[in-house]
Amino acid sequence: MPPVALDASPQRLRSLARAAQHDILRRLTPPLRHDMVVHLQSLGMMAEALNARMERGVVQQDDLAGSVSKLNRLSRQAVARCLEVCTWMEPAEDDTIVLRDGAAEVVRLLSTSLNFRGFDLRMELGDGEFDVSRSAVRFLLAAAILTLTDAAPAPGEVVVRTEQSSSHGVVAVEYQPQPEGNFTQLHESGEAPLSWVEVQALAGQHGVELLRNGQAIILRLPRALVTTPLKMVPV
Enumerate the H helices of 87-228 as residue ranges: 99-117, 134-151, 196-205
Q: Is the pLDDT of residue 26 over 70?
A: yes
When the pLDDT of each residue in the chain is averaged and rounded to a whole number, the result is 85
Instruction: Give the distance, in angstroms, between the CA of residue 95 and the centroid of all CA atoms in the same chain.
Output: 14
Residues 6+ apart with CB under 8 A from 137: 97, 99, 102, 103, 106, 169, 171, 219, 221
Confidence of residue 161 (pLDDT cuts 50, 70, 90): very high
Q: Which region, left, alpha or beta, applies to residue 190 given φ > 0 means left and ψ of -120 to 50 means alpha?
A: left
Indicate the length of the chain as a whole number: 235
> How far is 51 from 47, CA to CA, in rounded Å?
6
Tell me the mean pLDDT in the region 107-123: 94
Give the integer Cα–Cα distance in Å for 193 and 20: 11
Instruction: Specify the amino acid at residue 50.
Output: L
Q: What is the pTM of this model?
A: 0.83
Mean pLDDT of 95-124: 94
For residue 218, pLDDT over 90 is answered with: yes
pLDDT of residue 19: 95
Helices (H) and strands (E) in the chain, counts: 5, 7
| Contacts of 95 by beta carbon, 8 Å cutoff, 6+ apart | 87, 133, 134, 135, 224
Beta bridge partners of 174: 159, 216
